Amino acid sequence: MDVLTQYAWIVWLVLILAFATIEVFTLEMTFLMLALGSVAGLLSGLFGIPWWAQFIIAAVVAVLLILLLRPPLLRVLRRGGDPTRSNIDALIGAEGRVVRTLSSVGGQVKLQNGDVWTARLSPITEQADVAVGEQVLVTGIDGATAVVVPVERSTPQ
């Protein structure tokens, strides 16, 4: 046990390095808090505290940091995020026109961004087919297929 107490600082350095490396790849701040807890364990070891107490100190500091520091830190980091929707999120709610007759089995639509997508009618629609030229609205993406519903036309009064 004396060897464990004597060389515990090496274990703490390895843990700090491992947690910091994992944090670089995950960017979720959890492993950063674990690394900081390990720093607390290392510092307590430098003051001659037994190895089992070093472990308890590291665990308590890491849990406190995860519970108290991580949430506000994540809010601050995500505050400046780009609010623009992209990829599939940008397609939900997009309008388009039918270019090949559309049914629950399939068809094609040209979206407002110019992309032509394989499409099928959403199961929530009661319509059997949608003719070429009709407008549709994208309600979801299933793989490489746009799930759409026909856009209802308002009648002039």
Q: What is the percentage of the chain residues whose pLDDT exceeds 70?
A: 92
Q: Is this model's pTM higher than 0.85 or not? A: no
Query: What would you measure as the largest C-alpha separation in the chain, in angstroms?
Result: 91
Q: What is the pLDDT of residue 82?
A: 67
- Cα-based angle 60, 19, 12 (whole degrees, multiple of 5): 65
Highest mean pLDDT among 11-20, 90-99, 109-118, 136-145: 11-20
Q: Give 64-114 pLDDT, tens digit per residue.
A: 999 999 999 998 888 876 677 667 888 888 999 999 988 878 899 999 888
Arithmetic mean of pLDDT, 58-64: 97
Distances (CA, A) of 59 to 3, 23, 28, 35, 53: 22, 17, 18, 10, 10
